[in-house]
Amino acid sequence: MVIQIGENPWILIGLTFFEVLFVIIPALISSKLENKTFKDIIKEMGFQKNKDIFLKVISGLSFGIVFFFFGNYIILFFRDLIVRNIFGNEFVEAGEAGGISTSPIQPNNIQLMILIILQVIIIGPCEESFFRGFLIQKMKTKLKLAYSIIISSIFFTLYHVPPFLVPLTTIITFFGYFFTFSIILSLIFVYFDFSLIPCSIAHSVFNILILLI
């Protein structure tokens, strides 16, 4: 049975604020371990002044829109052409039935507006600051950049299909989709000189389009 987090939009809104912990907890721990200030770690995660902001904003908007329209093809490729052919229809059906839905059910206009705003100011920036700004930045000092991107993308995927909440069938069914999304966001992050702006905007725009369409 699909876990419907969005059944009550107000609960979904409340849970969204917990994503701020993606910034606070890693920054606090890292500041203690590295003897740096909390502010310095926050800056290292990507919360600092950027050059070419207009280009980064436009690029983020474009990538988010493009991924939204091609996202279904990515799901079809991994779910139907790979997972379904390897494990069969029942496996995929079980995977879909065990998923987590964060789509709000019958939100009013105020709730929908709040959710859209939270996508822009919390979900996109906070998730990207951790999975890109923190994990990739920290790991690339000890690993090759490609390995850092892959490991970060695995963590990103498992956050969206968490093993402690969903069955293995769901993880396998949707792993390729979320992993690909994360790889794309990581490449955007790296291409724009490790700036959070384009990947955060792309992430937020993608989620907003899902809410609206």
Question: What's the pLDDT tens digit per position in 128-182?
Answer: 999 999 999 999 999 999 999 999 999 999 999 999 999 999 999 999 999 999 9
Q: What is the reported pLDDT for 138?
A: 94
Q: What is the reported pLDDT for 51?
A: 84
pLDDT by residue (tens digit) across 83-109?
999 999 999 999 999 999 999 999 999
Task: Measure the CA–CA gap between 32 and 36, rounded to whole angstroms.
Answer: 7
Task: Measure the CA–CA gap between 140 and 186, rounded to whole angstroms.
Answer: 12
Q: What is the reported pLDDT for 47?
A: 87
Q: What is the mean pLDDT of residues 23-31?
A: 96
Q: What is the mean pLDDT of residues 196-203?
A: 97
